Amino acid sequence: MSELVKTETMDVEAVWDKDSYNKIRKMFAPQLTNQEFGMFVGLGKSLGANPFLREIWAVKYGNSEAQIFLGRDFYRRKAQEQPAYKGHQVDAIYSNDTFKMAGGKPDHSYSLTDRGNIVGAYAVVYRADNEPFFLTVKFDEYNTGKALWKQKPETMIKKVAEAQALRGAFQGVFAGTYDQSEEWVDKEVEENPSQYAPLPEEVEPLRKRYPFDKTLKSPKDSHKPYLNDGSEELTKVEQDIADGILDPRYIRYFYTVTNSVWNYLVEIPERIAEAENEDQKVL
């Protein structure tokens, strides 16, 4: 049984204070409508999910409805706060594994080599006041073959099983929520996404916004547009960082930049925060 490290309880009201709304919207929900942002804030406050820790975020493709997701670490933390929680375990199941349930506990054995193909994953949540909650999920029901599902298939299917098991074991806490790994239909970001370099999950929605060499299998600076003081894209990038659309840490996925430009761009959020503090002092 895996014992997870407990985290400190956060001050939910402080995280979702009215003074933080604009910052939260710019950083985590810039494309949401007012109604969608209201739902995002309401869910975050009611669950005690901290957007600054990536426990809750929103994804919106074009004019489609926004999707709100919770992170795996949030499911873990919130489960650990429940008095009945007594740990949980999760693992992937491969075609050559030996797997069965015995007395509410998994009997799972395998070697680290020649495990065959991934067929699914299981998770068991142990409660002090009830029987263990157990479920399995099938790999082919969730695998999109793209992005992290292509790069880290075992990690992704385990996330699905873990989120569903924790949600099932504590329905009163997690009802109506989803982890992003549970998206059945992955949104097409381009006609042939397999040609693209792998990007972090949170960067995927920005694929169309910035120049990118679509023939590469991995990022290479020499093939990316050069972003410097004379670049036409610089003003756009500056504004996107200021508006919270682009996290400056991800600039190098799209552009080659000099150290001076890099330092200038990554300091934009800090300069904005300092300016806001000065304005508040004046008021």
Same domain, 116 and 57: yes
Q: Per-residue pLDDT for 188 more than 50?
A: no
pLDDT band at 196 (very low <50, low <70, confident <90, very high): very low
Domain that holds residue 223: 193-282
Which of 143, 163, 182 is the last residue in one of the domains?
A: 182
Instruction: Based on the fold, state whether residues 178 and 197 are members of the same structural domain.
Output: no
Residues 79 and 209 occupy one common structural domain: no
Whether 221 and 110 share a structural domain = no
Q: Are residues 108 and 202 in the same domain?
A: no
Give the global pTM. 0.57
Same domain, 124 and 161: yes
Whether 283 has a pLDDT exceeding 60, the answer reads: no
Asked, for residue 1, whether it belongs to a domain, the answer is no
State the total domains in the chain. 2
Are 194 and 146 in contact, with CB atoms under 8 Å apart? yes
**What pLDDT is recorded for position 102?**
79
**What is the per-residue pLDDT across 227-280, written as a single tens digit (0 to 9) for each?**
776 667 888 888 888 888 888 877 877 777 776 787 788 888 888 877 777 766
